[in-house]
Structure 1
Amino acid sequence: MKNEMQDTAQVNNLELLQFYAEWCQPCKMMMPIVELIKQKSINWLTVKQIDVDENSELSGKYQIRSIPTFVVLKNNEEIWRKTGMLSEHAFLDILKSLDK
């Protein structure tokens, strides 16, 4: 029963997929911003960081052509995508607007 409740809660939350690579300088610059967002949105956002060099299957599924790329899913459906850098405030504002 507890697992079912956790699964339901996760479905209702947003999921942020961060596609990056270790050699990518803009990706490295976004890492601390994503960590802050993770801390500030722990109750309503799940963050998954995906190294494109180690996970080409998932990168292909989401048709990642440039990095960093951020994909937001709600109920397993893509609802937003951004390639490039964002400030912490702009990123949080966008994520909050998507969580309605």
Structure 2
Amino acid sequence: MSKFNELINGDQPVLVDFHATWCGPCHTMAPILEELKSEIGSKARIIKVDIDKNQAAAHKYNVRGVPTFILFKQGKQVWRQSGAIPKHMLEQAINQSA
């Protein structure tokens, strides 16, 4: 958890994808996130957190369904959305916090 906290407390916005290996919509979002990652460059980081392997993080941020996306800036949640969503919505959230 300390590496996670270190990441989300930085100056750079961090989009966290809380996902699970058994989740269909999570698999749908994977290529979209890869595409977004290459487009935004250093504007923000995108990290994936498997809720089955990191139950403490999922519990701490009250993740009830997957995928759940939470955008952090300097340790604070600035945006949150659950479910498969279009890339432009993720991009918009990142651009507003960058």
TM range (shorter): 0.7 to 0.9
Cα RMSD between the aligned structures? 1.6
Letter in 2 for 1:18: D
In 2, the alpha carbon distance for the partners of 1:95 and 1:12 equals 13
Q: Secondary structure of the equivalent of 1:41? A: helix
| Distance apart, 1:40 and its partner CA | 1.1
| Distance apart, 1:66 and its partner CA | 0.5
Q: List runs of 5+ in structure 2 lacking aligned partners.
A: 1-5
Letter in 2 for 1:65: R
Larger Rg: 1
| Distance apart, 1:98 and its partner CA | 2.3
Match of 1:25 in 2: 24
Establish whether residue 58 from structure 1 lines up as the match of residue 57 from structure 2.
Answer: yes
In 2, the alpha carbon distance for the partners of 1:90 and 1:60 equals 25
Match of 1:83 in 2: 82
| Distance apart, 1:88 and its partner CA | 1.4
Q: List runs of 5+ in structure 1 lacking aligned partners.
A: 1-6
TM-score under structure 2 length normalisation: 0.85
In 1, the alpha carbon distance for the partners of 2:12 and 2:43 equals 5
In 1, the alpha carbon distance for the partners of 2:27 and 2:36 equals 15
Percent sequence identity over aligned pairs: 29
1:24-72 Cα offsets, whole Å, 9 max, x none, are 0001000111111111112111111001111101111111001100000
In 1, the alpha carbon distance for the partners of 2:85 and 2:55 equals 24
Query: What is the count of residue pairs matched by the alignment?
Result: 91
Aligned 1:5-24 pairs, distance under 5 A: 11-24=10-23
